[in-house]
Amino acid sequence: MKDNILKDVYLGEEYAYLRPYICRGNPYDAKVFLTGINPATPIYPKQVSLDRYIEMVKDYELFMDFYLKSRKKQNKSEVSRTRMGINSLVDWIENECNTGVVETDIFTYPTKNVKELLSIDKQILNKSIEKFWQVLLEFQPDTVILYGSLTVDVLKKLLKDKNKQVEYFCKNEDGIEDIERIFPLARFNIDSKNINVIACRHLMYYGKNGKSFENLRQNIKKSLEKDKEMER
């Protein structure tokens, strides 16, 4: 892995570290990006050294152990509703589609909530979104899953800012529930590689079994099957 993905996650003592991604296995082998708006559990330099933090980002179990203990110290439930949904969907993708998943966010700067995110200094936000773009270029997944309508809107703007030619398969007025039924939401290229984009409601609604997300799961299967066909 290129060191520059992790080398500038430190922004200063008063700022949380950027979280570029976490992944249970080798991110280069993962065909799927699971992408939210931003991480919700900030980790600060006063909590852990930079070297230790980088080690944690590279080691999923180490990161999750710190995450669980950190939430416990704050008298929160060990696992948030969103984290439960992420874990459940990642389990399903690994088991049903036989591929790893890179968990990432368009804004890689963590805040306790979206309201706090929108109040963050623009320079920090720009650095955090550039970090996501760097991760996307580095690992080049076959499929990007966006959860939450804000994530969809911000990715559209990012692709426009990067002058990417994007083919959209939905109408502008479609809500997130409608978009969840569409395959794909969009398609664009990185280094001549086709990337399918699909989207769904926020994963806080996924729960332990994701029964109401069957459209999304079928779209994930379709996306990865299409990629197999193109490889033949």
- Per-residue model confidence as pLDDT tens digits over 162-205: 999 999 998 776 799 999 999 999 999 999 899 999 999 999 99
Cβ distance 147 to 205 under 8 Å?
A: no
Q: Find the radius of gyration of the CA atoms of the chain.
A: 17
Cβ distance 35 to 106 under 8 Å?
A: yes
- Note the pLDDT of residue 75: 78
- Note the pLDDT of residue 74: 78
pLDDT at 221 over 90: yes
232 confidence band (pLDDT: 50, 70, 90): very low
- Note the pLDDT of residue 139: 96
- Note the pLDDT of residue 227: 57
Domain count, the chain: 1
2 confidence band (pLDDT: 50, 70, 90): low
Provide the CATH number for the domain around residue 65: 3.40.470.10
Cβ distance 158 to 181 under 8 Å?
A: no
- Note the pLDDT of residue 3: 62
Reported pTM:
0.94
pLDDT in tens, 82-121: 999 999 999 999 999 999 999 999 999 999 888 999 899 9
- Give the chain's mean pLDDT: 92
Distance CA 68, CA 64 (A): 6
Q: Side-chain half-sphere of 77: how many Cα atoms within 13 Å? A: 6
Q: Span 2-26, mean pLDDT?
A: 91
Instruction: Scan for tokens 């509703």, then name that residue.
Output: 81
- Note the pLDDT of residue 78: 74
- Note the pLDDT of residue 122: 94
- The contacts of residue 102 (CB under 8 Å, 6+ apart) are 21, 22, 23, 27, 30, 32, 33, 34, 135, 139, 141
Starting at the edge strand found earlier in the chain, the sheet holding 193-200 runs 22-23, 101-105, 32-36, 143-147, 193-200, 186-190, 166-168
Q: Span 123-143, mean pLDDT?
A: 96
pLDDT in tens, 204-215: 999 999 999 999
Instruction: Give the DSSP H or E segment for 125.
Output: helix 122-139
pLDDT at 228 over 70: no
- Note the pLDDT of residue 71: 83
Percent share of the chain, pLDDT over 90: 81
The range of the structural domain enclosing residue 204 comes to 4-231
pLDDT in tens, 53-71: 999 999 999 999 999 888 8
- Note the pLDDT of residue 226: 66
**DSSP-based three-state secondary structure for 143:** strand
